[in-house]
Amino acid sequence: MRAFLGLGSNLGDRAHYLGEAISALTNKLIKVEATSQIYETEPWGLMDQPLYWNQVIEVKTSLEPLELLHVCQEIELRLGRERKLHWGPRTIDIDLLIYDNIRSGTEELTLPHPYLEERAFVLVPLREIAPELMLPSGRSITEVTGEGKVHPLTT
């Protein structure tokens, strides 16, 4: 199955956390197919925090959506993620954005991600690696812009 994951970090060595998350996601059940460049973005929700580094990856997996979510959450914990404030700062965040055309509305997992089409920090890197993508809403990724300032990271 084809899935897209959004990664973000705004604490500590952001490049390290993004790289470690991608490495940890790569295993016999998850194959990373594409990785966007890294973008520097303003926080979403709670504004008084450091800037984020965000990227999106495309993966192929045989895991079910909930299993993939649990793998992502285990990696977040291993990399020091603490869930103290809603939309607060974090070492790493791994969001399951889209999982094929599956829609889910459980307490534990909502697919597609409920804020997918509102957040430029997800849409810009998603458009970079999947310019042909039709979003679950039926709209093309090229026609949805979202909100927020997104700048390619130059290192």
11 token code pair: 């604490």
Q: Note whether 96 and 5 are within 8 A (CB).
A: yes
Q: For residues 152 and 35, give the distance between their C-alpha atoms in angstroms, rounded to a whole number.
A: 14
Q: Which of 14, 81, 119, 127 is catalytic?
A: 81
Q: Which of 90, 100, 127, 139 is catalytic?
A: 90
Q: Which of 14, 78, 83, 93 is catalytic?
A: 93
95 is catalytic: yes
13 is catalytic: no
93 is catalytic: yes
Q: For residues 152 and 48, give the distance between their C-alpha atoms in angstroms, rounded to a whole number.
A: 21
Q: Which of 14, 95, 119, 127 is catalytic?
A: 95
Q: For residues 137 and 135, give the distance between their C-alpha atoms in angstroms, rounded to a whole number.
A: 5
83 is catalytic: no
* 132 class by beta-carbon count within 10 Å (0-12 exposed, 13-18 middle, 19+ buried): exposed
Q: For residues 136 and 99, give the distance between their C-alpha atoms in angstroms, rounded to a whole number.
A: 10
Peptide bond into 65 cis (omega under 30): no
Question: Which positions are catalytic?
Answer: 81, 90, 93, 95
